Amino acid sequence: MTREKAETLARRGTLLTSVALVALAAVYLRALMFTPVERFQGPAQKIFYVHAPAAWSGLLAFAVTGLLSVLYLWLRDRKVDLVAAASAEVGLAFSVIMLTTGPLWGKPVWGTWWTWDARLTSTLFIFLLFVGYQVLRGAILDPETRARYSSVIGILGLVLVPFIHMTVYLFRTLHPDPVVMKPGSPALPGDMLVTLLTSFGVFTLLYLGFLAQRYALGVLRDLKEEEASRAVS
Partner 1 sequence: MQYPDNGGYMIAAYVVAAVVVLVYAVSLFVRLRKVAR
Partner 2 sequence: MRDALRAAWTIAGKDLAIEWRTKTALVSSLTFAVLVLAVLYFARDPTAVGAVDIAPGALWVTFTFAAMIGLNRAFLLERENRAMDGIMLAPVSPQAVFFGKLAANLVFVGTVELVSLPLFILFYDVPIVRGLPALVGITAMATLAFVAVGTLLSSMVVRTRFAELMLPLLLLPFLVPPVVGAVQATARILADRPLSEVEGWLKLLAAFDIVFVTLSTFLFEATLEE
**Contact footprint for partner 1 (CB under 8 A):** 7, 10, 14, 17, 21, 24, 28, 32, 37-44, 46-47, 50-51, 54, 90, 93, 96-97, 100-101, 104-105, 107-109, 206, 210, 213-214, 216-217, 220-221, 224
Measured between alpha carbons, how far is residue 169 from residues 112, 164, 165 in Å?
19, 8, 6
Decide if 166 contacts 153 (C-beta within 8 A).
no
Per partner kind, with CB cut-offs from 5 to 8 A, the member of partner 2, partner 1, none near residue 51 is: partner 1
Considering only 63, 148, 187, 222, the residue that binds partner 2 (CB under 8 A) is: 148
Asked if 113 and 107 count as a contact pair (C-beta separation under 8 A), the reply is: yes
Question: Judged by CB under 8 A, does residue 156 bind partner 2?
Answer: yes
What is the smallest separation between the CB atom of 171 and partner 1, expressed in angstroms? Answer: 27
Residue 167 near which of partner 1, partner 2, none (CB within 5-8 Å, type-dependent): partner 2
Please identify which residue in 103, 132, 143, 186 interacts with partner 2, judged by CB under 8 A: 132
Q: Rule CB under 8 A: is residue 71 a binding residue for partner 2?
A: no
Q: Tally Cβ neighbours within 10 Å of residue 117.
A: 18
If phi over 0 gives left and psi between -120 and 50 gives alpha, with beta otherwise, what is residue 37?
beta
Q: From residue 161 to residue 180, what is the string marking binding to partner 2 with x (rule CB under 8 A)?
A: --xx-xxx-xx---------
CB distance 188 to 179 below 8 Å: yes
Query: Reduced to 3 states, what is the DSSP secondary structure of residue 157?
Result: helix
- Residue 198's closest CA among 91, 58, 52? 52
DSSP 39: T
∠ CA 53-21-113, nearest 5°, is 40
**Measured distance CA(212)–CA(139) in Å, rounded:** 24
Choose among partner 2, partner 1, none what residue 193 binds, the Cβ cut-off being 5 to 8 Å by kind. Answer: none
Binding-site member from 75, 100, 145, 176 for partner 2 (CB under 8 A): 145
Nearer to partner 1 among residue 48 and residue 72 (C-beta): 48
Binding partner 2 (rule: CB under 8 A), the pick from 15, 32, 37, 152 is 152
For partner 2, the binding residue among 68, 98, 155, 216 (CB under 8 A) is: 155
Coil, strand, or helix at residue 41? coil
